[in-house]
Amino acid sequence: MRLVNTLAAAGLALLFACQTVPPVTVPQIPIVQVPQGPPPKPKIALVLGGGAARGFAHVGVIRALEQEKIPIDMVVGTSVGGLIGAIYASDLSSFDLEWTAFQLEKEDLFDFGVLNAVTGMGFAKGDKLEAWVKSHIKTTNIENLKIPFAAVATDLNWGYKVVLDSGSVARAIRASAAIPGVFQPVQHQGKILVDGGVVDNIPISVAKAKGADIVIAVDISGNLGNTNITNLLGVSLQATNIMFALNVEQSKRNADILITPAGIGDIGMLDFTQKKRCMQAGIEATKQAMPNVRRVIDAWVAAHTRPAVPAH
């Protein structure tokens, strides 16, 4: 009997020894690329600073950006920056902008008169400037321009920054460019307004507040040196130039890309004979800035593109 039990036990052991244990399979979770569609696009704002006749550099900046196919989704401008910006926002063509801007002469903007200076609050009334804008920008109201636009002015009574993003294009440009002591202040939207450069010559903060993801700002404030001041008008212009340059130092730090056309700082604020020189400086400065422009755009797109996620 003991022998039978021993043989039975040995048989069972042999039976179990011959069985193989199946391998354990760990399910693999595949990583798949979730369809993303087109990559996200940042909202790019172009902010154009004031600087009177040096504003023709803005034309060159816009031409270069257009050639490089950098989309502009918003324009914000002070003084001449508002003027050039509004012309572009109405047509979205650097060729038309150049054609229109280069027709502009000092006599088209400044209706100087001795009586204005004696009895008014500026050498020029500003009627000519407003009439020129009306005749060259066919869109009457800001909200109907082809891309969002805002001009910046200053409340003369209280020193506030005033953002003009609706209503008359021509009136907004006249107010934004009303250099104190040169143009008479402008009554608009229940306020007395002067040049926006008094408080913010490169209104980057306005573009940010309006939802811009990336701000390309253009500084044409120039240098402060001027040894050829011979009359009251020259005093007013130089005081304005100093005021513009000083507040630019603070605001330009907030630009994602800052373009500063070189070699135009010696051009007088009323010198309309240097249009091509200013424009070429704008083109060259923008071309030099293009690697940085593309780097900033690519970094924004990368930061806002969702990575691949596990499939469920």
Which residues are known to be catalytic?
79, 195
Other C-beta atoms closer than 10 Å to the C-beta of 95 total 10
Q: Report which residue type is found at 19.
A: Q
Q: How far apart are CA 169 and CA 214, in angstroms?
A: 25
- Rounded Cα distance between 234 and 85, Å, is 27
Distances (CA, A) of 204 to 172, 199, 263, 292: 18, 12, 23, 18
Cα–Cα distance, 165 to 3 (Å, whole number): 107
The DSSP line for 50-90 is --GGGGHHHHHHHHHHHHTT----EEEEETHHHHHHHHHHH
